[in-house]
Amino acid sequence: MSIDEKIKNNIYMSGTTTLGLICDGGVILATESQATMGNLKANITAPKIYKIAPRISMTISGGVADCQQVAKIMSANLNIRKYEIGRDVSVKAAAQLTSVLLYQNRSYISMLILGGVDETGPHIYTLDPLGSLLEEPKFGATGSGSVLAYGVLEDEYKEGMSIEQGKELAIRAIKAAKARDINSGGRIQMHKITKEGVEELIIEE
């Protein structure tokens, strides 16, 4: 089924805010939790962030089924690749493998942020439905509320900020999106990623 057909048949679920930012020694990925279908709040506790490797996670926005499928496939692929090479896959390699998956299956409606920490440090990448891949040197955001989140990130982000400072900035950015974007809502989901692993957080309001 083509992208146009998916949108026409309401398989595409719009509305979300996801973000990622680089911190000193780690990465923060955060999302809100409201899934929408047109004017309907389809779910207010929808998971939008997935751990796909010991120190790598992915945020999703777009078609729910498509994004969930990408996350499942990449989790399996990275696990297989780990055993093939005898070590954890780098964040860059994980992003490149995700890009190839999206390019080879060009009907996935998905905007993704992939972030993690490896032996070279913290990294975040953004990917579009066609597999375009960009490394973000500071931060990135996707979804209908991203413009509002970017306003906060552009104003308040500081290079070298601690992981706790990054957590608080991410909360402020998601809150700003929820305040003005009608398609963003619910609680805040967050992954704090360091060399020790992924810490999953839920911030209720």
Residue 87 amino acid letter: R
pLDDT at 37: 78
| Domain spans of the chain, in order of start | 3-203
The Cα 154–Cα 156 span in angstroms is: 6
Residue 16 is a catalytic residue: yes
The fold adopted by the segment(s) 3-203 is Glutamine Phosphoribosylpyrophosphate, subunit 1, domain 1 (3.60.20)
Sequence letter at residue 40? L
Q: What pLDDT score was predicted for residue 14? A: 57
Tokens representing residue 149 in the block: 């989140």
Distance CA 183, CA 31 (A): 12
Mean pLDDT by 10 residues, the chain (205 residues): 49 76 98 87 92 98 92 97 96 98 90 98 97 97 96 97 98 97 95 98 90
Query: Which of 16, 18, 59, 126 is labelled catalytic?
Result: 16
pLDDT for the residue numbered 10 = 46
What pLDDT does 42 receive?
84
73-91 as b/e: b if 16+ CB within 10 A = bbbebbeebeeeeeebbbb
